[in-house]
C-alpha cells in the first residue's frame, strides 16, 4: 500500500468513527499503522454490533393500554393481554442498518451509534425480517415502554431529563442510543430520541373495537402508527399512551424503529 492509500484509509476511519484527528493531506502514514487502524475499526464495530443486538423479554400478561380524558385516539383505556415477546434493548442504529442493508439513509450521518432515521416503514420491516425479527405491534410497544407501570411516564414527571432526549435537551437532533436511563425492563429510549414505526395500521377509533388478546391493529389503512415522542417533542408527547401516525412511504428525520420477535415456548 502506498502513502496516498494509507492517507485515504485513515481519512475514512476518521469519518466513520469520529474518534481520531484528521491527518493533513500531505502527511504520509505508515501502511502498517493504517492496517492497524482498520483492525481497530473492525473490532470496535463487531463489539458494538453484538451489544446493540441484545433483546429483553417482556412477560405475558395483562396491562392497561391507552388513557382517558386526554386525546380521543388514546381512549378508552382498556385491558389487553399479550403473549410473551422479545424486543430490542436499543433503537436500531446507523451502524446496524448499514451492516445489514448496505446503506445509511439517515440525515444525521455523523453518528454511527445514533438511531437510523429517514427510514420508510417497509424498509424497517425489511431490516427486521433480515435479522430474523419483526416490528412490534402497537400494543407490544406500549407494554414494553411502560415497563410494568400504569402511570403517564415510567419515571417521576420532573425527572424526564434523566430518561429521554426530547425538545428541551436534544439539541434539535437524534442522539446516540442508550445514553439515558432505561425503564424497568432494561429498555433504552422508549421515549424521546426518534419516533418508532410499529406494525399496526393507524385508526383513530381502533381502541373501541380492538380485541382483548394480542391486538394487531386494523386489517388495512393508509397511515401507520408511530410511538415514542421523538427528539423534538414536548414532555406531553413522551407519555407512553401518546399515539401518532405517519405515511409509510415517506422518510422522516425523526422516525426510526426497533425490532421484536415472538418468545418461543
pLDDT in tens, 26-55: 456 788 888 878 888 888 889 999 999 999
Q: Which tens digit of pLDDT belongs to each residue from 127-153? A: 999 999 999 999 999 999 999 999 999
Query: How big is the chain, counted in residues?
Result: 265
pLDDT at site 35: 82
Phi, psi at 67, each rounded to 5°: -160, 160
Q: For residues 147 and 154, what is the distance between their CA atoms, to the nearest angstrom?
A: 7
pLDDT at site 156: 74
pLDDT at site 102: 97
Phi, psi at 92, each rounded to 5°: -65, 130
- Mean pLDDT score of the chain, rounded to an integer? 90
Longest dimension (CA), the chain: 69
Query: Grid coordinates standing for 37?
Result: 487502524
- Counting residues of the chain whose pLDDT is more than 70, the rounded percentage is 89
pLDDT at site 233: 94
Instruction: Evaluate whether 86 touches 58 at the Cβ level (below 8 Å).
Output: yes
Instruction: Evaluate whether 240 touches 189 at the Cβ level (below 8 Å).
Output: no
pLDDT at site 264: 82
pLDDT at site 41: 81
Scanning the structure block, which residue is given the C-alpha cell 448496505? 102
Q: For residues 211 and 180, what is the distance between their CA atoms, to the nearest angstrom?
A: 34
pLDDT of 2 over the 70 cut: no
Mean pLDDT of all residues in 233-253:
96
pLDDT at site 265: 52
Q: For residues 229 and 72, what is the distance between their CA atoms, to the nearest angstrom?
A: 17
pLDDT at site 8: 41
Sign of the CA dihedral with 84 first, then 90, 94, and 98 last: negative
CA angle 196, 127, 46 (to 5 degrees): 100
Q: Which tens digit of pLDDT belongs to each residue from 171-208? A: 999 999 999 999 999 999 999 999 999 999 999 999 99
pLDDT at site 39: 81
Nearest to 258 by CA among 58, 70, 63: 58
Residue 87 CA, chain-centre distance (Å), reads 11
Sign of the CA dihedral with 89 first, then 93, 99, and 105 last: positive
Amino acid at each position: 500500500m502506498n502513502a496516498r492509500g494509507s492517507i485515504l484509509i485513515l481519512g475514512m476511519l476518521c469519518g466513520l468513527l469520529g474518534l481520531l484527528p484528521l491527518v493533513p493531506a500531505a502527511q504520509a502514514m505508515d501502511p502498517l499503522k493504517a492496517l492497524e487502524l482498520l483492525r481497530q475499526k473492525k473490532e470496535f464495530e463487531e463489539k458494538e454490533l453484538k451489544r446493540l443486538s441484545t433483546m429483553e423479554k417482556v412477560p405475558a400478561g395483562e396491562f392497561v393500554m391507552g388513557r382517558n380524558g386526554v386525546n380521543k385516539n388514546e381512549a378508552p383505556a382498556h385491558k389487553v393481554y399479550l403473549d410473551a415477546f422479545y424486543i430490542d434493548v436499543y433503537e436500531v442504529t446507523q451502524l446496524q442498518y448499514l451492516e445489514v442493508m448496505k446503506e445509511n439513509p439517515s440525515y444525521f450521518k455523523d453518528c454511527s451509534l445514533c438511531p437510523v432515521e429517514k427510514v420508510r416503514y417497509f424498509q424497517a420491516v425489511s431490516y427486521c425480517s433480515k435479522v430474523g425479527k419483526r416490528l412490534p405491534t402497537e400494543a407490544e410497544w406500549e407494554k414494553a415502554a411502560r415497563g410494568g407501570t400504569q402511570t403517564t411516564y415510567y419515571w417521576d414527571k420532573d425527572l424526564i431529563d434523566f430518561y429521554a432526549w426530547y425538545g428541551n435537551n436534544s439539541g434539535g437532533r437524534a442522539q446516540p442510543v442508550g445514553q439515558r436511563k432505561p425503564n424497568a425492563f432494561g429498555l433504552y429510549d422508549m421515549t424521546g430520541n426518534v419516533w418508532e414505526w410499529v406494525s399496526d395500521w393507524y385508526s383513530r377509533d381502533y381502541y373501541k373495537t380492538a380485541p382483548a388478546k394480542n391486538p394487531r391493529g386494523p386489517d388495512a389503512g393508509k397511515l401507520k402508527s408511530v410511538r415514542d415522542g421523538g427528539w423534538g417533542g414536548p414532555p406531553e408527547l413522551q407519555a407512553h399512551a401518546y399515539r401518532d401516525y405517519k405515511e409509510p412511504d415517506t422518510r422522516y428525520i425523526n422516525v426510526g424503529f426497533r425490532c421484536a420477535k415472538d418468545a418461543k415456548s
